[in-house]
Amino acid sequence: MEIQVLESQQQMAAAAAEKAAQLLRNALEARQRVRVIAATGNSQLQFLDLLCSRDDIDWHRIEIFHLDEYVGIEKSHRASFAGYIESRIVNRVHPAAAHLIDGGAKDVEAERHRISGLIQTDEIDVAFLGIGENGHLAFNDPPANFRTEEPYIVVELEERCRLQQVGEGWFASLDDVPAKAFTMSIQQILKSRSIICVVPDKRKAEAVRNCLDPGGEISPAYPASVLKEHRDSHVFLDKSSASLLPGYNDRPQSTAGVR
């Protein structure tokens, strides 16, 4: 795992977009069709905007999946991750395909099987991730299931995760946040050839310390700690999100490797 700490959120997003573009161009040189997993949420906005503004990526050869979606939320809902992907990526760059989870599906298990079958047809080249305030990856809240080989699972969302969605302005109250969600499993995420993880904001500092401290344990209690096992993961922090991480908080615009 490589960690890079930048002075500001804008610099962090720019560095992450540059690295993501490099990985996508490399994948496009090696393969005719490239597959990407996109994360959503406030933490990804600047990064995705910069990445989608570039003119050096052939999006017409790229397929997009997304990490998670609320159960019971239609794409038209303002908090829908499928709607987020469609408006912020698909409608801007017009990829070869966008395999979006139908949160409003009447048969939840059938929808889980459908999206799982699609992602299993080939390897993922690059996954874009964030880390939640509780340390989750996608909607794999602690204690996360590190063992299941199912590509997508349906999970119960813990209260802190749901409160984060309220705090970010996606829902008016805790009662409005769905209790269940589709999520890509930890094992499926780790199958990606490369990972870009973008984590801004002071409110993420505790999770960053708990999950990414080189001396810390890899544990389901800290789901994002599993990134330390991945062969090609790149984490981008700003000074605020890195402020509790030993050895990094005073090193803006620096790169350090953890293996």
Element (H, E) at 236: strand 233-238
3-state secondary structure of 47: helix
Domains of the chain, first to last: 2-7+12-257 (3.40.50.1360)
Give the model confidence (pLDDT) of 99-122 as tens digits: 999 999 999 999 999 999 999 999
Give the model confidence (pLDDT) of 192-228 as tens digits: 999 999 999 999 999 999 999 988 999 999 999 999 9
Between vectors from CA 104 to CA 68 and to CA 164, what angle results, nearest 5°?
45
3-state secondary structure of 126: strand
pTM of the model: 0.92
pLDDT > 90 fraction of the chain, expressed in percent and rounded: 89
Place of tokens 């570039």: 54
Element (H, E) at 112: helix 108-119
Could you say which DSSP state residue 214 is in? Answer: T
Residue 179, pLDDT > 90, answer yes
206 strand-pairing partners: none
Give the model confidence (pLDDT) of 14-61 as tens digits: 999 999 999 999 999 999 999 999 999 889 999 999 999 999 999 999
pLDDT > 70 fraction of the chain, expressed in percent and rounded: 95
Count CA within 13 A, CB hemisphere, residue 100. 24
